[in-house]
Amino acid sequence: MIREFGWVDVLYLVFAMRWTLALTATAFIGGGLIGLVIAVLRVSRVWPLQAIAVLYVQAIQGTPLLVLLFVFFFGLSIVGLPVLPWIAAALAFSIYAGAFLGEIWRGALDAIPKTQWEAGSALGLGFGEQLRHVIMPQAIRMAIPPTVGFLVQLIKNTSLAATIGFVELTREGQLTTASTFQPFAVYLTVAFLYFLTCFPLTQWSRHLERRSYGPA
């Protein structure tokens, strides 16, 4: 039955936003762990490890996120391993985020002057100790602004999870549109909720970038 779009529907959309945020948090944590490994492998002095990291990054960045979602949700089901939409989305987004975060953090590590590595080596520190005590503390400051910027993109990209039936904000918008036949009002509300979530993070990212790269 067709009904009017009202405040109850707005509340449903607001409640669905929690699943968008939950998926974002899960993907960011999972992707962060993967990205940390990738970044360390990229700056390691063992070329086979560097090659593995490069291959991973190029393969994931060269594959549409939608394809990754379909691989985990439909592909695993074909081989007899059915997965829930939540699990498929979490895996796909974590792997996707790992490739991009790894490159962001690798760039921050590479931005540290080579003299810092040499200074750590002169102090008798091994590669791991140089990375932990000398390089990473400096790289973290550079990496925070682009990391927050990627987080904004990750929040918006979670809308693709609607294609495999995961009921986050966009999927709830689709269901609400099917009930009310008022897509303009529904998706305007959806867009506004995304804006309320992403705009503060965007401003924070710009503030951090100005503070990191601005004049001393």
Write the pLDDT tens digit of every residue in 119-151.
877 877 787 788 887 888 888 888 888 999 999
Centre a 10 Å sphere on the Cβ of residue 125 and count the other Cβ atoms it contains: 16
Write the pLDDT tens digit of every residue in 105-121.
999 988 888 888 778 77
pLDDT beyond 50 at 216: no
CATH superfamily of 7-210: MetI-like (1.10.3720.10)
pLDDT beyond 70 at 213: no
pLDDT at 120: 78
Domain limits of the chain? 7-210
Close Cβ partners of 17 (under 8 Å, ≥ 6 residues apart): 168, 169, 193, 197
Closest CA to 171 of 6, 23, 8: 23
Cut 0.75: pTM above it: yes
Close Cβ partners of 117 (under 8 Å, ≥ 6 residues apart): 130, 134, 135
